[in-house]
């Protein structure tokens, strides 16, 4: 990773905060004027190279992303940074990464799990962030709290990848019974560019990355919208699995006053969000369950703005 000396403050420069949302597919960086709140820069790029560990690598990745954004802005001075990142599922790791980035950039820095961005992005102080995409995760957020996070490598329950895997198994089971091909089978096979169910059986194997499966989830949702009973049952089961993550937090003593749903999948699929909301309210009728209607990076910006007031949180003198 390249090293740069921190820019010196001059009267001509306006102070900015930077929010960074690092997901499993893309990363969004937003630079905002500290005083006016105006967006100075908003950029989305691929994040395939991101890893939350080892610490030195993750620190360099974030520092380079921040410095790259600053290089694209004219006459600005960095005031604070906040990052929400996939893979940051242990508070100790978040705190350690926040400290190392703070020392490198010499500004207050906050690092959280990317699901934690949903709560401040929605303008809330506390609640449960529910991300549904290539993986699914529900995280209770608040001062000193990180509860309910788990990597897709541990469990992909409720994820797009799990939905596609179950759809493939459903297609294989139907073929074994001699059922006539239905909409789910046709759309899934087309999405995966397969010619026969035999080919589907061959590709249905363990892959060390979840993403190749999740990209085919739209085919399952389309089949459900076009009336496939199997696809509709799969979407309902997927929604219930996501809702179960939230209910489990409540059973562990988390006050689920607010649950904010976001990610790459649920916001694009009204059927899925409706199922998630309904399943949560079946168990937690007083919960406020809402869809995030702004980019999650806005939560990182708000955390950065807070950290300006709270101070550096590390010794970079």
Evaluate if residue 1 carries a pLDDT over 50.
no
* pTM across the whole model: 0.87
Check if 1-114+295-317 and 160-291 are the same fold: yes
pLDDT at 150: 57
Contact by Cβ (8 Å): 9, 60:
no
Of 13-22, 130-139, 189-198, the poorest mean pLDDT is in 130-139
Contact by Cβ (8 Å): 291, 130:
no
Band of pLDDT at residue 144, cut at 50, 70 and 90? low
| CB count in 10 Å sphere of residue 63 | 21
pLDDT tens digits along 220-229 = 999 999 999 9
| CATH, domain range 1-114+295-317 | 3.30.420.40
Contact by Cβ (8 Å): 162, 238:
yes
Torsion-angle region of 275 (φ positive above 0: left; ψ -120 to 50: alpha; else: beta): alpha
For residue 228, give both structure tokens: 């496939």
CA distance 96 to 55: 8
Helices (H) and strands (E) in the chain, counts: 11, 10
Superfamily of domain 160-291: ATPase, nucleotide binding domain (3.30.420.40)
**Higher pLDDT among residues 162 and 52, named by residue:** 52
pLDDT tens digits along 165-201 = 899 999 999 999 999 999 999 999 999 999 889 888 8
List the chain domain ranges: 1-114+295-317, 160-291
């Amino acid at each position: 990773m390249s090293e740069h000396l921190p820019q010196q403050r001059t009267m001509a420069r306006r102070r900015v905060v930077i929010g960074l949302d690092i997901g499993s597919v893309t990363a969004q960086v937003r630079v905002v004027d500290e005083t006016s709140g105006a967006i100075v820069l908003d950029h989305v790029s691929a994040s395939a190279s991101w890893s939350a560990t080892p610490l030195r690598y993750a620190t360099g990745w974030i520092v380079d992303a921040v410095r790259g954004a600053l290089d694209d802005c004219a006459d600005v001075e960095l005031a604070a940074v906040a990052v929400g990142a996939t893979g940051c599922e242990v508070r100790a790791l978040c705190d350690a990464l926040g400290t190392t980035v703070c020392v490198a950039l010499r500004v207050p820095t906050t690092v959280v799990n990317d699901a934690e961005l949903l709560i401040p992005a929605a303008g809330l102080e506390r609640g449960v962030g529910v991300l549904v995409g290539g993986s699914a995760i529900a995280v209770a957020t608040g001062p000193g709290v990180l509860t309910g996070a788990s990597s897709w490598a541990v469990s992909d329950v409720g994820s797009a990848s799990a939905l596609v895997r179950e759809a493939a198994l459903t297609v294989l089971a139907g073929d074994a019974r001699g059922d006539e091909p239905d909409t789910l089978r046709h759309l899934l096979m087309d999405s995966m560019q397969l010619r026969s169910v035999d080919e589907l059986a061959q590709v249905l194997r363990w892959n060390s990355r979840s993403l190749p499966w999740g990209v085919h989830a739209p085919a399952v949702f389309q089949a459900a919208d076009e009336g496939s009973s199997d696809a509709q049952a799969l979407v309902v089961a997927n929604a219930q699995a996501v809702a179960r993550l939230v209910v489990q937090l409540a059973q562990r003593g988390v006050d689920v006053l607010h649950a904010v749903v976001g990610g790459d999948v649920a916001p694009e699929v009204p059927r899925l969000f409706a199922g998630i909301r309904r399943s949560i309210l079946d168990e937690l009728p007083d919960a406020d369950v809402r869809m995030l209607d702004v980019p999650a990076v806005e939560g990182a910006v708000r955390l950065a703005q807070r950290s300006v007031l709270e101070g550096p949180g590390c010794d970079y003198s």
